[in-house]
């Protein structure tokens, strides 16, 4: 059980870090979102679902963290570094 709690916290921290890097000038063209507001709404939803132990969110997050998907593309644009998403390999 402790590992699940730790993993949930780690994923929440990653999502919060991503959210903190997003601003009106963020290049989101390679994501599937139509606006920064839509992206932020999705991040808030993912964070809430992880915190509420909604395990159905993990399949969506696995998609969002896949190579050439939303959060990987944002990491390249924002220069977060290649190791930024390594904890998400646990999803």
The pTM score is 0.79
Neighbours of 53 (CB within 10 A): 10
Task: Kindly state the average pLDDT of the residues 35-57.
Answer: 95
Q: What is the pLDDT of residue 21?
A: 84
**In the structure, what pLDDT confidence band is assigned to residue 66 with cuts at 50, 70 and 90?**
confident
**In the structure, what pLDDT confidence band is assigned to residue 52 with cuts at 50, 70 and 90?**
very high
Count of domains observed in the chain: 1
For residue 16, the enclosing domain spans 2-90
Q: Is the pLDDT confidence value at 89 over 90?
A: no
């Amino acid at each position: 059980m402790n590992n699940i709690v730790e993993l949930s916290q780690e994923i929440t921290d990653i999502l919060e870090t991503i959210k903190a890097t997003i601003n009106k000038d963020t290049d989101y063209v390679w994501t599937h979102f139509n606006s920064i507001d839509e992206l932020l709404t999705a991040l808030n939803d993912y964070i809430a679902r992880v915190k509420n132990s909604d395990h159905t969110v993990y399949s969506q997050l696995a998609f969002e963290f896949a190579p050439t998907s939303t959060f990987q593309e944002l990491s390249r644009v924002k220069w977060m570094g290649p190791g930024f998403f390594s904890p998400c390999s646990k999803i």
